[in-house]
Chain A
């Protein structure tokens, strides 16, 4: 990119805030009631993390992988890529994260979460619960319709945030590898929201 120093964050914004939020409205209408499944999976992850069930670690990793794969295909590739050509790459990254979670957690059994009832587990579980239940409320609180709500498991931002909170409980070096894409997404999503706020004046 020539003269890169002349570019601002808003230079990379391809769409208006109105189009971005309408994207969620149309997506939510198209996938309803999948949002309920997303919330159920999120709350199930919370219950699993604070409980002592057998195969807890494999099930949580599998549920997260399922959510990342769904978001990659149904939201990023099918929807977001319509207004942002970079979303095809985002979809590939989300699918890769799903693969990592499934391979290391479900099949290899390398994802081991901290056992309850430590303070770390309580904090992470509380944060995940807040994201799962509270994130959909942000749209109406910001004056947008309920139908524009972003829900864990079916949209990228709450899925990435809750995944970061979940992976914070993972012991061992696999955690760093698994956190790369969720943290990168949080940075990209934050930059997008900031650019939209700036562009809106």
Chain B
């Protein structure tokens, strides 16, 4: 059940509150693209914020404040899902610092992971993560890279049943363990899976994404830019002129629009330390999206790069 604050934020994300919030109206002229989480119907903006490497800045006050600005701009432009993991060094601490400093706690969809090889220590790790984020509870917890998933998933389902958690999922990255993932998707009542997907890494299109649609599982996309390497490679060629037909002004938007236009995808989570980049990424969740034919052209354009 949503509370009033969550409902207002969802309205803001959808652009409904533009008239009420002039500052948002200036930066968010178009309605933000949202996707329903299949298990509940809750709308989620199609672009989120990852924290792998980018938010692992230790206790560097300058870098922490820069990350806070990224988070502030992310939320101001309608973003909700922030994703992290105990594996990401100090990223959870950075997120907690930023949420408190920018008064964003409660305005984000807090997605974290359990990543420990002992199922018995899962709850303890989750509690440590929660304290670092400084949130009352996580919206989503996933088993990171399927590590000890047989032991962690019962814990997460129990937490969900007890109201200590809203959604449960599992993650993989870079195409690893897709057979195991498929088996888990078929056998477990998952709300989310997280996989790698972009115009170059499209293996999930064959089995994982169709299965996610069949089973009503939301899909989060990690490594949309291959940790920046894809954009680095694409920067050598100009953006195709027909990109304007889907309101793209950069390769980052081009790649993100390709990802979120797949009907099985719920949210892509690019990571960045740049305010300009986070705003650019968020603008990919608005305007026109490519159709099937355009998606094929996009693949061809990227593969040429």
Check A23 for interface membership: any CB of B closer than 8 A.
yes
- Classify chain A: how many residues form its interface, as a range: 20 to 34
Interface size on B (CB < 8 Å)? 21
Check B222 for interface membership: any CB of A closer than 8 A.
no
B89 near A83: Cβ-Cβ < 8 Å: yes
B89 near A82: Cβ-Cβ < 8 Å: yes
A3 near B177: Cβ-Cβ < 8 Å: yes
**Shortest distance from the beta carbon of B91 to any chain A beta carbon, whole Å:** 9
Check A32 for interface membership: any CB of B closer than 8 A.
no
A19 near B176: Cβ-Cβ < 8 Å: no
Given A19-B60, A201-B229, are A3 and B89 also a contact pair (CB < 8 Å)?
A: no
B90 near A82: Cβ-Cβ < 8 Å: yes
**Shortest distance from the beta carbon of A16 to any chain B beta carbon, whole Å:** 6
Given A15-B53, A19-B60, A83-B89, are A199 and B175 also a contact pair (CB < 8 Å)?
A: no
Residue of A nearest to B88 (CB): A14
**Shortest distance from the beta carbon of A81 to any chain B beta carbon, whole Å:** 9
The residue from B56, B62, B87, B229 contacting A15, defined by CB atoms under 8 A apart: B56
Cβ of B29: which chain A residues have Cβ within 8 Å of it? none
Chain B at the A interface: SS class? loop
Given A14-B89, A82-B89, are A19 and B57 also a contact pair (CB < 8 Å)?
A: yes
The CA-CA distance from A83 to B59 in the complex, in Å, is: 9
B57 near A6: Cβ-Cβ < 8 Å: no
The CA-CA distance from A2 to B146 in the complex, in Å, is: 10
Check B17 for interface membership: any CB of A closer than 8 A.
no
Task: Give 17 new A-B contacts, CB below 8 A, not counting A2-B176, A15-B56.
Answer: A2-B177, A11-B174, A14-B53, A14-B56, A14-B88, A15-B53, A15-B57, A19-B58, A22-B60, A22-B63, A23-B58, A82-B58, A82-B89, A83-B57, A83-B89, A85-B87, A201-B229
3 nearest interchain CB pairs? A82-B58, A83-B89, A3-B176
- In the complex, 8 of the A-B residue pairs with CB atoms within 8 angstroms, ordered by the A residue number, are A13-B53, A15-B53, A15-B57, A15-B89, A82-B59, A83-B89, A83-B90, A201-B229
B residues at A contact (CB < 8 Å): 53-54, 56-60, 62-63, 87-90, 174-177, 227, 229, 232, 273
